[in-house]
Structure 1
Amino acid sequence: MSASIRARRGPFAAAVLVLTAALALTGCGRQRASDTTATEGGPATPPASASPGAAGATPYVEPGAGDGAPHYNENNGYRREGDMSPAHEADADREAERMTPVIKRLWQQKKWDPASVRSALLDLGYEEERVSQDGKRLGGTLTVRAMYPRFEADHYVTPEGALVALRVHDDACVTAFLQKTDYQVRTNGIYPETGCLEPPAGH
């Protein structure tokens, strides 16, 4: 009787042992993966509070480097405006206050083409900036031009509107834009390659 019971329990006990061993190994495997991750630098994605300059970050990421791409600061240096002296910034602020009502009125009148904008700003007493073929400034302070073209689908399109730059000092500018959707007037320093106007993205 006891031999018969042992024979019936044998396959059942074997199945239980196999199942228990499988569960133990699976659990062990998960634990090991977790342990390995923890000892090899933490989770695959850093927590939201981690910053590019935090300990453990790749040595190729510069502190404050926008999207964290290697050489971000170097590659985007042309899009960083220079500093304005406090006195020159105050002068630029005053000119921005003079310009803003004119820009706002033009936008409300739906006159955002460069010719209309240029004419209205020259009426404020500004003189159009003149530049020689080799890039030397010959006088004047105001530049009004079309918007930068942008790539859409398979070709470039120049949006309606105008870009404005007023050079108040060699380190201080007032810049503005008008387009169908909105307008803006602001003060800024000089950009290394483009003067008062912020260069387009995708240098």
Structure 2
Amino acid sequence: MRIRLAAALALTLALAAGCARPAEAPAAPDPLGPSPTPRTVPPGDGAPHNAENNAWKVRTELTDAEKAEAQAAADKIKPALEAVRAGNDFGYTATRSALLALGYAADRIQVQSMRDPTVAGAVYAVRIGTRACVIGDVRPERVTAEVRGSAAEFGCLEPYTH
């Protein structure tokens, strides 16, 4: 009697734990064919088409000579804009005037007011040569000047998007 009770208890525990399963019928073939293999998303690329959607932002790789030329320009631009900032003028007109005073042609300069109207300052870009850009901003607390390659879609200064 004890053996039967132990066997019944073991069978009950095995069924409760999911160890014993009823026999399953073989799955019918999918009439639409096999499912496609899921796309592997690279680290940091959240949406499946994020890289494709942002391809328009890809900037040109610069040669060492282009980097050096643009860095020399940045080294000239930043002090001029620091002087503008020191005069407590951070806006579009002062930034553009300072870049023009350095001798850059008007068609090589892009200046925009800050996107957020509550933030004082301006963003700018200066095209150097055919593919290089000096990009930065002028704000009450800082002036930046970075060397980057241009983008085929928009040139130097990336447009605001929503």
| Alignment gaps of 5+ in structure 1 | 1-13, 33-56, 130-140, 150-156
Partner of 1:195: 155
Q: How does 1:150-165 map to 2 (within 5 A)?
A: 157=117, 159-165=119-125
Structure 2 residue 130 is matched with structure 1 residue 170: yes
Kindly state the Cα deviation for residue 142 of structure 1 after the two structures are TM-superposed: 2.1
Letter in 2 for 1:164: Y
Letter in 1 for 2:155: G
| Alignment gaps of 5+ in structure 2 | 21-36
Q: Distance in 2 between matches of 1:122 and 1:194?
A: 21
Q: Secondary structure at the match of 1:122?
A: helix
In the alignment, is the contact (CA less than 8 A) between 1:85 and 1:171 conserved in 2? no
Q: How many residues align?
A: 145
Letter in 2 for 1:104: E
Partner of 2:73: 95
Q: Distance in 2 between matches of 1:128 and 1:120?
A: 11
* Among candidates 110, 113, 121, match of residue 91 of structure 2: 113
Q: Distance in 2 between matches of 1:106 and 1:165?
A: 16
Letter in 2 for 1:93: Q
Range 119-128 or range 87-96, more displaced: 119-128
* Among candidates 39, 61, 81, match of residue 59 of structure 1: 39
Q: Distance in 2 between matches of 1:68 and 1:112?
A: 36
Over 3 Å counting, the alpha-carbon distance change for 1:193 and 1:23 in structure 2 is same
Higher relative contact order (CA 8 A, sep 6+): 2
Structure 2 residue 162 is matched with structure 1 residue 185: no
In the alignment, is the contact (CA less than 8 A) between 2:110 and 2:157 conserved in 1? no
Q: Distance in 1 between matches of 2:101 and 2:118?
A: 27
How many percent identity over aligned positions? 32
Partner of 2:112: 145
Letter in 2 for 1:81: R
Over 3 Å counting, the alpha-carbon distance change for 1:67 and 1:200 in structure 2 is farther
In the alignment, is the contact (CA less than 8 A) between 2:122 and 2:139 conserved in 1? yes
Q: Secondary structure at the match of 2:71?
A: helix
In the alignment, is the contact (CA less than 8 A) between 2:125 and 2:136 conserved in 1? yes
Q: Distance in 2 between matches of 1:198 and 1:22?
A: 68
Q: Distance in 1 between matches of 2:15 and 2:90?
A: 71
Normalising by structure 2, we get a TM-score of 0.69
Q: Distance in 2 between matches of 1:106 and 1:25?
A: 80
Q: Distance in 1 between matches of 2:12 and 2:97?
A: 83
Q: Secondary structure at the match of 2:156?
A: coil
Q: Residues 14-62 of structure 1, C-alpha deviation per residue, up to 9 Å, x if partnerless?
A: 9xx98x9887666x35x99xxxxxxxxxxxxxxxxxxxxxxxx94153x
In the alignment, is the contact (CA less than 8 A) between 2:92 and 2:113 conserved in 1? yes
